[in-house]
A and B are shown apart, each in its own frame.
Chain A
């Protein structure tokens, strides 16, 4: 059976060049970069190389603006808590309704336990934030605006430059979770005008367990993890060198791959989207048709349920994910699709297919054929018929 991995937004396969680097820093260059001896010093120098590689990928002004963390989630936590709790006393955060839970749950915690006020900006039908709504929401006590670069579920790219320009004009810090955008889009933190940016290694063919936060020089941020003072005091804990070096290599490869990589993925993505919408009646695309991640296709099929679709796809060798994993009795459909105004039924019949380095045109055609057959089979015994009901 053909095996097709279309869940690259969940995680990616580590590139062989990256594996080589990771192994070298476990087997041979195992020193602690804080040590004074040569074992440590050589690794300390390597750490600077990784910082440089990440800085170059996002065009940071200098490597010192890159701070390694244990994950993208940790970098998001650091960005938000590190700013809100930096002693300036500002307690208002502006974010959007479609952020990753790493942002949303951090904001909820600050609201419930640290006396913060959070504005969750709505999005339009494509999942896009209106920059004007950011301007309106900014208040005297606004500490930070955090809007994701591109959405992990529906792939919509946010108007980051416009939002960042408003923040700069108003003197408010701007953070962006770019975990899904980095590596696919030509991100330039200086041109974009953001003060902080989150990225993660395992979404760009690097290892799991490492992320990074870009913090523009001069931004006053407080650590949330205390200890030996690594990462210039912002993130204590012995550096996870093998993973960090892997991230460095992955960042270098990603930079060399752009922009051809994004263009290739966009062609395959559009072949997939067009093929599915043409082949399957009563299907629709979620998210923006053009301003979307090159790797992301998110499609709703009326009258069928996402988990059944995923299960059937899996039995045909295709790995995908759904906007509504009804894994617990009370789990609501995806907060992203709900915020976009997608009906409960359409949200429940959504499938996210995310392409990667190894995706071929044959994989795409096999997926179109298989998905069309699977939807037809499941619809044949759906009480909603093929068109679906307006409401469940």
Chain B
């Protein structure tokens, strides 16, 4: 059902956890399926210096959280905002069709975390 890239990220997920001194935090969930994705970021010089994720979800959710953290580290805020859930799925070599909607939430959670960071900056 899952390809080797997904299995690798599921088995050895990168950057799991929650940054204690996060600059921004985002959490999204889908009520129909119930998966929850949480992303915390540390920002310096307008770049994502560090990122961690937590998820309550299936194999695809775990793999997409892990892949996102690898994709976003070191990116500028502008670049990070351009990453979409579809791009995460693509980087994973594709996900089964039913998983694309409810389990592929990592980029959305990242965007929420950036919004949170920006709100704190402006506040």
Contacts and interface: CB of A to CB of B under 8 A. Distances in A.
The answer to whether A and B assemble together is yes
Interface in A217-251: none
Interface SS, A side = loop
A383 B54 contact: yes
Interface in A281-309: 303-308
Contacts of B32: 329-330
Chain B interface bracket (under 10, 10 to 19, 20 to 34, 35 or more): 20 to 34
Given A381-B53, A382-B54, 14 more contacts: A305-B34, A306-B58, A308-B10, A308-B59, A311-B58, A312-B10, A326-B34, A330-B33, A344-B34, A345-B34, A378-B62, A380-B17, A383-B38, A384-B56
A132 interface: no
Max chain A C-beta neighbours (<10 A), residue from B34, B37, B101, B102: B34
A311 B103 CA distance: 15
Contacts of B98: 326-329
B7 interface: yes
Contacts of A361: none
Contacts of B58: 305-308, 311, 326
B84 interface: no
A308 B62 contact: yes
A83 B1 CA distance: 41
B74 interface: no
A348 interface: yes
B57 to A, nearest CB: 5
Contacts, number: 72
Instruction: Give the interface SS of chain B, mostly helix, strand, loop or mixed.
Output: mixed
A384 B102 contact: no
A392 interface: yes
Interface string B47-84: 00000011111110110000000000000000000000
A126 to B, nearest CB: 24
B13 interface: yes
A392 B29 contact: yes
A305 B57 contact: yes
Given A305-B35, A326-B33, A326-B103, A383 B55 contact: yes
Per CB-CB distance, the 5 closest pairs between chain A and chain B, nearest first, are A381-B16, A307-B58, A383-B54, A329-B101, A383-B38
B36 A326 contact: no
Interface string B13-54: 100111000000001010011111110000000000000011
Q: How large is the interface on A (under 10, 10 to 19, 20 to 34, 35 or more residues)?
A: 20 to 34
A392 B102 CA distance: 14
B11 interface: yes
Interface of A: 303-308, 311-312, 315, 326-331, 344-345, 348, 378, 380-384, 392
A327 to B, nearest CB: 6
A390 B2 CA distance: 31
Contacts of A305: 34-35, 56-58, 61
A392 B11 contact: no
Most buried by B among A303, A330, A344, A381: A381
